[in-house]
Amino acid sequence: MWILCWARWTGKLDGQNELIVFGEGIIKGLAVTARNLVGSYTDKERLVTVQYPEERVPISENARQFPFLVFDGEDAVKGLRCVACQICEKECPPQCIYIVKDSVRKPDAAGKMQFQPRVFEIDYSVCMSCQICVEVCPFDAIKMDVNYEFGTTDRFGGLLLTKTQLSKPNGYFQQIHPVEAAEVDGRLAADRAKAEAKARADAEAKAKAAAAIVKPEGKA
């Protein structure tokens, strides 16, 4: 059977005979396969195949498939974190993101006036799951999904996902990537608290300045 596997004696090496076994790696590999094959009947850890789609392997937290848009709160439109800065669109290597910025600003989930994308589409048939869009987004608005079940017979329309299809709540992000989501939530909460404190301080300073102007006029 394994013709490639044979042994031969070579000349002396430091006074000792050296044995060279050709095909040793193949034998070791087959031994591992045989151990897993036999072991899979008794040890579930050795069973590397499952009866998909009835059975599924748990998805690792680090898994990544395609990007999706995160929104805060209950309203997918109002809570969308994306401010249509278009950085991801420019940085995407295969250019599979298409964004059209809205012409008016709207209040976001924190009440701050922001632009939003009127159109945000990703062509999943072109996306190579590199995650660059996620890394360059300054607003934690786009994250990688773990869902891989996008089989379709419609090669173009079926894999061109729209803003509505891409938008998913932060709760979903927390569920699929709990560690990363906790870090992002903490950072965003701190940023928002800082922004609110600054807005309060600015308002107080403005009110004081206005009072200082009004006072002399009242006296007069």
Comparison of 38 and 119: residue with beta carbon closer to ligand SF4? 119
The H-assigned helical ranges of 11-142 are 24-39, 87-91, 132-136
Our finding on whether 70 is near ligand SF4 (CB under 6 A) is: no
Our finding on whether 94 is near ligand SF4 (CB under 6 A) is: yes
CB of 126 to ligand SF4, least distance (A): 7
Looking at 82, 159, 161, 181, which residue binds ligand SF4 (CB under 6 A)? 82
Q: Which token pair is 78?
A: 């109002």
Nearest residue to 160 (alpha-carbon basis) of 137, 117, 127: 127
Our finding on whether 92 is near ligand SF4 (CB under 6 A) is: yes
The DSSP output letter for 139 is T
Check if the beta carbon of residue 119 is closer than 8 Å to that of residue 163. yes
Q: Using CB under 6 A, which of the segments 24-32, 40-48, 120-128, 162-170 binds ligand SF4?
A: 120-128
Our finding on whether 129 is near ligand SF4 (CB under 6 A) is: yes
Q: Using CB under 6 A, which of the segments 4-12, 55-63, 129-137, 194-202 binds ligand SF4?
A: 129-137
CB of 73 to ligand SF4, least distance (A): 17
What SS3 state is found at 142? strand
What SS3 state is found at 11? strand
Residue 58 CA: distances (Å) to CA of 41, 45, 182: 20, 13, 21
Q: Using CB under 6 A, which of the segments 40-48, 82-90, 175-183, 204-212 binds ligand SF4?
A: 82-90
As to burial, measured by CB atoms within 10 angstroms (0-12 exposed, 13-18 middle, 19+ buried), residue 174 is middle
Nearest residue to 3 (alpha-carbon basis) of 24, 30, 23: 23
Our finding on whether 132 is near ligand SF4 (CB under 6 A) is: yes
CB of 150 to ligand SF4, least distance (A): 13
The pattern of x and - marking residues 138 through 177 that bind ligand SF4 according to CB under 6 A reads -x-xx-----------------------------------
Comparison of 40 and 136: residue with beta carbon closer to ligand SF4? 136
Residue 94 CA: distances (Å) to CA of 136, 168, 215: 15, 23, 63
Our finding on whether 85 is near ligand SF4 (CB under 6 A) is: yes
Looking at 109, 137, 161, 184, which residue binds ligand SF4 (CB under 6 A)? 137
